[in-house]
Structure 1
Amino acid sequence: MEKQAAGAPGGSDGAGPNRKPWGSPTSGTASGETPDSPSGSHVEWCKQLIAATISSQISGTITPEHISREHKVTHTHTHTQTHSALPALRYGAQGKMFQNQVPLLPGETIQTTMKDVMYICPFSGLVNGTLTITDYKLYFTSTEREFVLDVNLGVISRQETISVPNQGENTKGLELVCKDMRSPRFAYKTEENHPDVVELLAKHAFPLSHNLPLFAFLYKEQFPVDGWKVYDPAAEYRRQGLPNESWTISRLNSSYELCDTYPSTLVIPTNISDEDVRRVATFRAKHRIPVLSWIHPETQATIVRCGQPLVGPSDRRCKEDERFLQIIMDANAQSHKLSIFDARQSSVALTNKAKDGGFESESFYPNVELNFLEIPNIHVIRESLRKVKDVVYPTIDEAHWHSNIDQTHWLEYIRLLLAGAVKVADKLESGKTSVVVHCSDGWDRTAQLTSLSMLMLDSYYRTLRGFQVLLEKEWISFGHKFAARVGHGDENHANSERSPLFVQFIDCVWQMTRQFPAAFEFNELFLVTVLDHLYSCLFGTFLYNSEQERMDKEVQSQTASLWSYINSQPEDFTNPFYVDYQNHVIYPLVSSRHLELWSSYYARWNPRMRPQVPVHQNLKELLILRAELQRRVEELQREASSSHSLSSSEHSPSPTHTTGTPLHTAV
């Protein structure tokens, strides 16, 4: 099988007949699309931000058409939504913004409006205007120039009272510390007839802490595409060639009795009894037994995920667990070994062993090799991203930019994660060996590693729809604790469970798109949109901690899917450079010099980080041109085929002639 890392010539490590190396990215290629030229919708808002048009907004040069956000315009002064024919979150020339007019989403209602509020802009000072608070967003419009700022309330992590000098005794200051790397600040005068702004914001920014529903359950948009149908477990496993003689699709967890954080549909070895599976569950953290995530189409080597074994300080054993892993190894006739990748730092794994956790002993698991990937835990990653925010917002120290970024260690942790995923992928592809991946509980670093390695190995997951399937499968259905890690609707910002593990994963994906600009069907705007709605609570996709919780809350019937929105306008999220080469394996280069800070996401609120050349509109034009050229190619092929057929008929023998020379086709 030929394998190839980004920027490297093709190698020849165990060539397979159908799986091909991916060509190296060309220097200077526009591998990181930078959206621009806004014309409406949340998508268009992202385009503004990624293209850093904030500075033009602040300077007052933006036109009404550019003042676009993730909602429709309402042409009524009541607090109810006026329905239009435009899709949700989209509006173009019709959606011009005027002073005191607040666009609302279907189901969104205004809670209060305050005049004489000051936005304390970190770049241009005080901006006077009107502040409107709905049950979904905070919306500020300037009374001095055409400037709009809105913040969806789901992105707020906490509120802090700040001092506002020289503005009078009855003036209060408020800072909104957000999860998306910004902290807008406002000053307002307190009056008797005004509601308490802090209390009102807390009520709707943290609805679960105030016995209110998340806004996703109030959002009433109807989309032409049903995103909840994107992922069908049976169809995805069928695509992988499952079930087969070694692996079966089990319904043992159909009622979530075996493991309440696993999906109802699992793929497990055929040659193991239900009773043995139950015994294995008691030996694995959170009952998260080893289950198949992906199978190699040629070698049958597999990626298996699970929780840590509960060996404890006394080195407990479980014969059923040992046999389970032996069966996994035996299912792959290409190798007589099984590689276990423990994502944790070895020192942490030893500490967990003292707390009744632990790791597999090579003495008890024959032909198993154990590898520690030394990836830090959730607390280290949380602190690292906090340091990144300090570097990029609100001001940037240009003279010490690189050293300041280095001190956050963010790119080092990105490197460790990508390096671990490359090891997993290469063990399957080149080593033809099945792997087992786990961390402590198997829902954080495990999801990062399995999904990244599957992204490298399987070109389907690099398509727009395939990536959605990957997220639904490896992250959402397998119980990444989105509610705990993000803190949806929860005012307890200091909760130690919070950590940006999913952001780190998406950053790794972005790094891969930079190195392989033609390998991914989706663009940078898609990744930014996914992260924005990780926090927004507008869609039900990332809500709650497990499939069981989402079933109990009736998420699919009561909320809209993010994929409904994405797949209703796929052209906005499509990479025009994408080449549909199937069965190509990609290995990103993971040395520090090949990684960079994702500035167009982390520093998008800072106008000083704007790119020199906004390119999103050019990319959309390229998509149109590509489609036109493809149509022309197909026309020429038809013309050539028709011409060839005509020429053949003119020179071929008569149908009654049977002695002509036969045509030989080389095979």
Structure 2
Amino acid sequence: QVSQDGLSQDLSESVPQLPGEILITDKEVIYICPFNGPIKGRVYITNYRLYLRSLETDSALILDVPLGVISLVEKMGGATSRGENSYGLDITCKDLRNLRFALKQEGHSRRDMFEILTRYAFPLAHSLPLFAFLNEEKFNVDGWTIYNPVEEYRRQGLPNHHWRITFINKCYELCDTYPAVLVVPYRTSDDDLRRVATFRSRNRISVLSWIHPENKMVIMRCSQPLVGMSGKRNKDDEKYLDVIRETNRQISKLTIYDARPSVNAVANKATGGGYESDDAYHNAELSFLDIHNIHVMRESLKKVKDIVYPNIEESHWLSSLESTHWLEHIKARAIQVADKVSSGKSSVLVHCSDGWDRTAQLTSLAMLMLDSFYRSIEGFEILVQKEWISFGHKFASGNLHSLLSEKLGI
């Protein structure tokens, strides 16, 4: 049944429905299927999903796309378009799909669908709540309690006589993008940490992410030092990194992995940032991992999309994948971090500029390789909460829920 305004009266008969999900509109469209060509169907848009059901008996097709998967909605064709199915909408998804819908030119059907999709796919830009806060589903597990930082550090055998847990950031006064619970060297006082914070971008000091259960090498993370063009030094920061090195008597130097290309790190000096120099950090060894910024990564991802959607050429699959350089960017460097720690050669400090993008990629992937707990469902949940969410990765910006023009990402 359909009401006078064209909305299906019984949503449950047409579209799977979550508690709190409501139908906004439904329209007859032509779906330009990349595999089977044009298919006549009806598209339903709720406050959670775009749902297409084909109307052709010989071509049963269903598309179920959460609106949060949509990254871009564009109009295709104009009022003077004459080609068949040339007037409609082109929808780009974050899962590499492109959905194209042809609509009738009369009756403003495209404009209505464009405005509704734009409004509900990017709710924060239109003063609407995310569906997560409208969803009335009941769950057996309270997701907010899955990650307990103190318990996770205890699982790793911390605190011990070399490392302590500090609550210096419990009110987020030391660093507003760091978690409330931090693990730092036992010999370092909270006052020392406050002095060190002044020399690290956004006060993101070096803190422990993971400790090897046998050789006691550690993975640390932080942001870039505030060296600037004048080559400023900070004795407290230099001493702090030396204390980190001395937590394990087996190593003579602390390995610092700067995720950026060296030219980018040098350029950051112009804006007050920079990297650890040999002159200032005698007992550290700095390596640049040459992971490029988001623009290069996005171009690499675009190449991946081109080879997997809509069709895959099996005969050229491996060579095509290699040409994208997608796996190279992060995988090889994460292995480098994991190998350095597992071999017992050195403890590792990882940073990029702010320490919440490339840094999190490297620490979390290395921890996945080194610790089987993180390869369980519960462990992976804890890893994401710990290394990404609690350490300030900008998921909201990268997911594009709020700013249509901001093309960010991991």
Structure 1 length normalisation: TM-score?
0.57
1:176 has 2:91 as partner? yes
Distance 1:140 1:435, change over 3 A: same
Instruction: Summarize the Cα distance change of 1:225–1:142 in structure 2 as closer, same or farther, 3 Å threshold.
Output: same
Aligned pairs for 1:462-473 within 5 A? 462-473=375-386
Shift of 1:222: 0.6
Alignment pair present for 1:127 and 2:29: no
The alignment status of 1:386 with 2:302, answered yes or no, reads yes
Query: Given the alignment, which residue of 66, 74, 82 partners 1:160?
Result: 74
Quick one: distance in 2 between partners of 1:403 and 1:458?
32
Counterpart of 1:138 in structure 2 is: 50
Partner of 1:111: 24
Considering only CA atoms, is the larger Rg found in Structure 1 or Structure 2?
Answer: 1
| Higher strand fraction (1 or 2) | 2
Corresponding residue of 1:282: 198
Q: How far apart, CA to CA, are the structure 2 residues paired with 1:280 and 1:335?
A: 23
Q: What is the identity, as a one-letter code, of the residue corresponding to 1:352?
A: N
Cα distance in structure 2, aligned partners of 1:148 and 1:427: 48
Quick one: which amino acid aligns to residue 312 of structure 1? G
Match in the other structure for 2:327: 411
What CA distance in whole angstroms lies between the structure 2 residues aligned with 1:449 and 1:411?
13
Q: How big is the shift at 1:378?
A: 1.6
Computed over aligned residues only, the root mean square deviation of the Cα atoms, in angstroms, reads 2.1
Q: 8 Å contact 2:268–2:274 — kept in the other structure?
A: yes
Q: Give yes or no for contact 1:108–1:134 (8 Å, CA) kept in 2.
A: yes
Report whether the alignment pairs 1:229 with 2:142.
Answer: no
- Letter of the 1:139 partner, please give it: Y
Shift of the 475–241 alpha-carbon distance from structure 1 to 2, 3 Å rule, reads same
Q: Distance in 2 between matches of 1:444 and 1:380?
A: 14
Which letter does structure 2 place at the counterpart of 1:180? D
Counterparts of 1:503-522 in structure 2, within 5 Å, are none
Q: Distance in 1 between matches of 2:203 and 2:73?
A: 38
Q: Percent identity?
A: 56
Cα distance in 1 for partners of 2:165, 2:318 equals: 49
Q: Which amino acid aligns with 1:132?
A: Y
1:488 and 1:402, CA in 2 relative to 1: closer, same or farther beyond 3 A? same
The superposition leaves residues 370-404 of structure 1 with CA deviations (integer Å, 9 ceiling, x where unpaired) of: 11112222211011101221232234556655554
Structure 2 residue 181 is matched with structure 1 residue 265 = yes
Deviations along 1:531-581, whole A, 9 cap, x unmatched? xxxxxxxxxxxxxxxxxxxxxxxxxxxxxxxxxxxxxxxxxxxxxxxxxxx
- The answer to whether the 8 A contact 2:122-2:400 is kept is no
Checking the alignment, whether the CA contact within 8 Å between 1:299 and 1:432 is kept in structure 2 is: no
Offset from partner CA, 1:602-627 (integer Å, 9 cap, x none): xxxxxxxxxxxxxxxxxxxxxxxxxx
1:422 to 2:331 alignment: no
Partners of 2:269 and 2:290 in 1: CA distance: 16
Q: Which residue of 2 aligns with 1:205?
A: 121
Alignment equivalent of 1:149, drawn from 48, 63, 71 = 63
Q: 1:190 to 1:451 in 2, by over 3 A?
A: same
- The C-alpha deviation readout for 1:46-85, integer Å capped at 9, x for no partner, is xxxxxxxxxxxxxxxxxxxxxxxxxxxxxx9445x7xxxx
What is the CA-CA distance between 1:489 and the residue it aligns to?
Answer: 4.2
Asked if the contact 2:165/2:184 (under 8 Å) is kept, the reply is yes
| 2:346 corresponds to | 433
CA contact (8 A) 1:214 1:489 kept: no
Find the residue that maps to 1:350 and give its secondary structure: helix
Aligned residue number for residue 3 of structure 2: none
> How big is the shift at 1:180?
0.9
Deviation at 1:422, TM superposition (A): 2.2
Match of 1:326 among 217, 234, 242: 242
State the distance in 2 between where 1:487 and 1:193 align: 27
Counterpart secondary structure, 1:280: helix
- In 1, the alpha carbon distance for the partners of 2:337 and 2:275 equals 18
Unmatched runs of 5 consecutive residues or more in structure 2: 1-7
Question: Matched residues in 1 for 2:336 and 2:34: separation?
Answer: 44
Higher relative contact order (CA 8 A, sep 6+): 1
Note closer, same or farther for the CA distance 1:410–1:280 as it changes in structure 2 (3 Å cut): same
CA contact under 8 A between 1:207 and 1:490: conserved in structure 2?
no
Q: Cα distance 1:454–1:395, how it changes in 2: closer, same or farther (>3 A)? A: closer
1:494-509 map, 5 Å: 495-496=406-407, 498-499=408-409, 501=410
Deviates more, 1:187-196 or 1:482-491: 187-196
Count of equivalent residues = 397
Is structure 2 residue 262 aligned with structure 1 residue 350?
Answer: no
Q: Distance in 2 between matches of 1:262 and 1:301?
A: 22
Match of 2:156 in 1: 240
Q: For 1:357 and 1:193, how far apart are their aligned partners in 2?
A: 52
Match of 1:265, as an amino acid? V
The one-character-per-residue Cα deviations of 1:625-650 (angstroms, maximum 9, x if unpaired) are xxxxxxxxxxxxxxxxxxxxxxxxxx
CA contact (8 A) 1:120 1:126 kept: yes
For the residues of structure 1 that align with 2:82 and 2:90, how far apart are their CA atoms?
15
Distance 2:350 2:317 in 1: 36
Provide the C-alpha distance between the structure 2 equivalents of 1:123 and 1:423, rounded to a whole number of angstroms. Answer: 41
Give the distance between the partners of 2:238 and 2:151, measured in 1 at CA.
30
SS at match of 1:340: strand
The answer for the alignment partner of 1:316 in structure 2 is: 232
**Partner secondary structure for residue 250 of structure 2:** coil
- Contact residue 137 and residue 151 of structure 1 kept, 8 A: yes
**1:324 Cα deviation after fit:** 0.7
How far, CA to CA, are the matches of 2:372 and 2:84 in structure 1? 58
Q: Secondary structure at the match of 1:249?
A: strand
Q: Report the equivalent of 1:303.
A: 219
Alpha-carbon distance in 1 for matches of 2:317, 2:335: 29
Residue 14 of structure 2 aligns to a residue whose secondary structure is: coil
Deviations 1:146-184 (A, max 9, x none): 32112111111111222364459xx83111011110111
The one-letter code sitting in structure 1 at the alignment partner of 2:260 is R
Counterpart-to-counterpart distance in 2, 1:463 and 1:411: 23
**CA 1:190–1:104 in structure 2 vs 1: closer, same or farther (change >3 Å)?**
farther
Contact 2:125 2:401 in 1 (8 A): no
Alpha-carbon distance in structure 1 between the residues aligned to 2:318 and 2:37? 28
| C-alpha contact 2:260 2:288 (8 A) present in aligned 1 | yes
The CA distance in 1 between the partners of 2:313 and 2:160, in whole Å, is 58
Once residues 164 and 276 of structure 2 are traced to their aligned partners in structure 1, the CA distance between those partners, rounded to angstroms, is 25
Q: Aligned ranges for residues 4-19 of structure 1 at < 5 Å?
A: none
Q: CA distance change for structure 1 residues 192 and 427 in 2, over 3 Å: closer, same or farther? A: closer
After TM superposition, give the deviation of residue 408 of structure 1 in Å. Answer: 2.5
Alpha-carbon spacing, 1:482–1:276, altered in 2? closer, same or farther (3 Å) = same
For 1:209 and 1:434, the matched residues in 2 are separated by: 43
What is the rounded CA distance, in whole Å, between the counterparts of 1:399 and 1:125 in structure 2? Answer: 24
Residue 409 of structure 1: how far off its partner (Å):
2.3
Aligned residues of 1:154 and 1:489 also touching (Cα < 8 A): no
Matching residue of 2:5: none
Query: What does the per-residue CA deviation read over 1:240-266, in whole Å, with 9 as the maximum and x for residues that have no partner?
Result: 111122221111111111111111111
